[in-house]
Amino acid sequence: MLTTDDIPVEYQHWPDSGIDPNTRVITRTLAALKAGIEYILQQGGTDSGKTFGNLYAMLQYGFLVENKLFSVCGQTFPHLRKGALRDFQKILEKTELLNNGVTENRSTWTYRIEDTGTEIEFFSVDSVGKALGAKRDLLFLNEGNKMAYPIVDELMLRSAQTIIDWNP
């Protein structure tokens, strides 16, 4: 059986960032994304590095693929802003990528990787109606266990790959 440990991972390295790209979450998530694995599930305790690692892997993957849309979704935007969005901004700050390879649009909470055209958007969904419509290449459900199943189902139906993290 193939595991993500068997898939070689090449990545951008920002050595001055202080971020270790060789953590278990980052390497396994990036390997799974590159292998085209449809569902990537991450369970772990509070403050275990799941969200940070998944976001870092998504950013790395965004430098490898062109003109893709990645969505980071949570139950509420305040929750997303205090967690995943804050972690993503920390990553951009530490890697010095903001306005140096990645542009930010705060009115839509989207980030564009200039070299590849890949966009990463942050949004919340609190009803099935808001989950309908747009397709995406990659969906990251931050603390997906806190979202209603009908919403999650609609989002996943419109996504080529999905990462879900949660605390037990």
The reported pLDDT for the residue numbered 1 is 38
- The answer to whether the beta carbons of residues 144 and 84 sit under 8 Å apart is no
Question: Stretch 10-36: mean pLDDT, rounded?
Answer: 83
**pLDDT over 50 (residue 154):** yes
Using the predicted structure, report yes or no on whether residue 3 has a pLDDT greater than 60: no
Tell me the average pLDDT across 98-110.
Answer: 94
Two structure tokens written together for 26? 């980052």
Q: Distance between CA 109 and CA 141 in Å, rounded?
A: 16
Checking if the pLDDT of 109 tops 60, the result is: yes
Taking only the tens place, the pLDDT of each residue in 115-153 is 999 999 999 998 898 888 889 999 999 999 999 999 999
Spell out where the chain has E strands: 39-43, 69-74, 102-105, 110-113, 119-124, 136-141, 159-166
Structure-block tokens of residue 12 = 């951008």
- The band of 11, judged by pLDDT with boundaries at 50, 70 and 90, is low
pLDDT in tens, 60-101: 999 999 999 999 999 999 999 999 999 999 999 999 998 889
| H/E stretch holding 163 | strand 159-166
Q: Can you give the pLDDT at residue 8?
A: 52
Tokens coding 16: 């001055």
50: its two tokens: 């799941």
Nearest to 34 by CA among 67, 71, 72, 62: 62
Q: Nearest 5 degrees, angle CA 80-CA 17-CA 120?
A: 35
Query: Which of 94, 108, 106 lies closest to 56 in space, CA to CA?
Result: 94
The pLDDT score that the predictor gives to residue 2 is 44
Confidence check: pLDDT of 19 > 70: yes
Cβ 153 vs Cβ 129: under 8 Å: no
Answering whether pTM is above 0.85, one says yes
Place of tokens 């037990």: 168
Give the pair of three-digit tokens for residue 147. Answer: 């979202």
The model's pLDDT over 43-53, given as tens digits with 9 standing for 90+, comes to: 877 767 899 99
What DSSP line would sit under 98-131, residue for residue?
BTTTEEEETTTTEEEETTT--EEEEEE--SHHHH
